[in-house]
Amino acid sequence: MDEGLEIPKDWKETAFTKEDNPTGLLEESSFATLFPKYREKYLRDCWPLVQKSLSEHGIKANLDVIEGSMTVQTTRKTWDPFIIIKARDMMKLLARSVPYEQAIRVLEDGMSAEVIKIGRMVPNRERLVKRRQRLIGPNGSTLKAVELLTKCYVMVQGNTVAAVGPHRGLRDVNKVVIDTMKNVHPIYNIKTMMIKRELMKDENLRNESWDRFLPKFKSKNLAKRKQPAKKRTKKEYTPFPPPQPESKMDKEISTGEYFQKENERKAKAREMKKRKQVEAVVKKQEKRLKAFVAPKEPAVKQTKEKPSPSNDVDIDALKAKIIKSKKKGSLQKPKSAPKKKTLSAKS
């Protein structure tokens, strides 16, 4: 069963031509798309080209500058029922700052477009700007790498990301954009796509799982989170209510003060006050005398003294040593050669 459903390698679907639908369409359809004010000048310049390209498919295009909208609608000459959807996508791309040269690719077979709204994915505006810039990369290098791997044209504009290309490439672009907005760096997805592209070239691995080849990245944000200074621990659940705190009267009854007379209570309070004052004076004096206490000096380690060499000289041994060295010198001295007598010429 699976062998019958397998698509041949170089198989291409036949194009839908005018001969396939000679009678045309029964009903007329139209779509309108708004565009921002800053796109008005560019759309005025390229609108004749847009009308010419859409008229080949039997689609009529109107530009309303006053209301700021672009409208496409079918005519009696329209023979492709799906071309109106592609024309609508083309208007969306032109409104999202995609150039005409790239937007016209949507009308081709096997091509599609997608506009991803990233404005509500990140609630904080500063984080959205940082993650959007991360998707673009330095000098647009990250976005260019995504375009090369997915074979799609990607335009990041404001709160949207517009993409034009094949269906498989759009799926990868969508994953990269959503993961980037979820604080996953796009380089991880780029690395995965590069590995997949190399694995697709091997026919032996076509029907096997690629999980063992793909990298597995672990998030390290949890370990870096700041831990609170005081961690609250939950108490064990008990069905009984907590004990009622003792009142002032209960404390006096337990200590016996409740049964004392008024003068006895006052005398006891005065005695307690004097005792606390004496303790406070003693503590203050100790604190003042701390400045006059000498600090502990470090203990000096006693080094072992080496025995000094004696200055006494053995004269007899020194004499014997000198005589011995003289004898050795006389034995080793070579004999001098006899001098030749030369006759001096008498003048």
Residues 6+ apart with CB under 8 A from 187: 142
Q: What pLDDT sits at residue 344?
A: 45
Segment among 14-23, 217-226, 238-247 with least mean pLDDT: 217-226
Q: What is the mean pLDDT of residues 63-85?
A: 92
Q: What is the mean pLDDT of residues 158-167?
A: 93
Q: What is the mean pLDDT of residues 140-144?
A: 93
Q: Give which of 76, 68, 83, 72 is closest to 50, Cα–Cα.
A: 72
pLDDT cut 70: percent of the chain above it: 88
Q: Tell whether the model's pLDDT for residue 205 goes beyond 60.
A: yes
Q: Tell whether the model's pLDDT for residue 210 goes beyond 50.
A: yes
**Model pLDDT for residues 89-102, shown as the tens digit of each residue:** 999 999 999 999 99
Greater confidence (88 vs 314) lies with 88
Q: What pLDDT sits at residue 53?
A: 93
Q: What pLDDT sits at residue 27?
A: 87
Q: Tell whether the model's pLDDT for residue 343 goes beyond 50.
A: no
Q: What pLDDT sits at residue 2?
A: 45
- Mean residue pLDDT of the chain comes to 85
